[in-house]
Every structure is written in C-alpha cells, then in structure tokens.
Amino acid sequence: EVGDSGIDWRRCAPRSIPAGVAVGFLTGLFGVGGGFLIIPALVLMLGLDMSVAVGTSLVIIVANSAAGLISHLNGASIDWAITAAFAGTAIAGSLIAGHFGTKVDTDKLQRWFAYLVFAVAAYVLVDTILLR
C-alpha cells in the first residue's frame, strides 16, 4: 500500500532492516560518513524519492551522531569551541544549500550526488593505493 508520501510500505518496510544493517556495518568498517551510504540505500533499496531520502537521511544521521556523542562523552576529549564553530558553519551551509536544493531538478541533483560519490571513491582509492 502506497502512503501519502508516495512510499510503498509493503516493499520498503521489509528491506529497511537489512539496508540499515548493511549501512551500519559499512559505516563502522570503513569509517565513511553515513550520508554517502544512507541516501543510495534509501533510493535504490527502498525506492524513496531523492527529496524524501535526503530528509530521511538527515534524521538518521542526527540520531547516529547523538548516539556516537553519548557513547564517547566519558572517554573522549572534545574541543567545544571548534565543535561549536564547525557545527555552526555546517548548519548555516546546510540551510543555504537546502534553500537552493529545492530549486534544483531532482534528476540533476541525483546525478551530481553520484558524481560526488564517485569522486570521493576515486580519492580514497588513490590515497589508499598510491599515497601510502
């Protein structure tokens, strides 16, 4: 049954747990940002539209980040000034990009995201093989 948001819940629900396990495993194994893995999983495995996948991934990243912060509060030394500066500018950049993102064609946005993923993968490959 397709919900109001256009999501086919009968298709999406049974795939969400394996997709979450796969993304969590790869994120933990390689230490890559979850957003690079979450959005393709949501779009390709669960069939979400790109705009829904972006919003959903951001909520997932907030939950994962909060859990990571809580788990490291006792043993980690955190520079709160740098954290606040980085988070503040990241929030500002995200708000600006979100404003422009609503004006960009979804197919074009999806294509540019794919280019970015391939560029990051190429950098990691070159860094791993040639620069070490």
pLDDT tens-digit series, residues 47-97 = 888 878 888 888 888 888 888 788 878 877 888 899 999 999 999 998 998
Residues 11 and 74 in one domain: yes
In the chain, count H helices and then E strands.
5, 0
Q: How confident is the model at residue 4 (pLDDT cuts 50, 70, 90)?
A: low
Residues 37 and 94 in one domain: no
Residues 66 and 92 in one domain: no
Structural domain including 91 reads 79-132
Residues 84 and 49 in one domain: no
Residues 65 and 98 in one domain: no
Taking a C-beta distance cutoff of 8 angstroms, is the pair 94, 100 a contact?
no
Query: Once rounded to an integer, what is the mean pLDDT over residues 94-112?
Result: 82
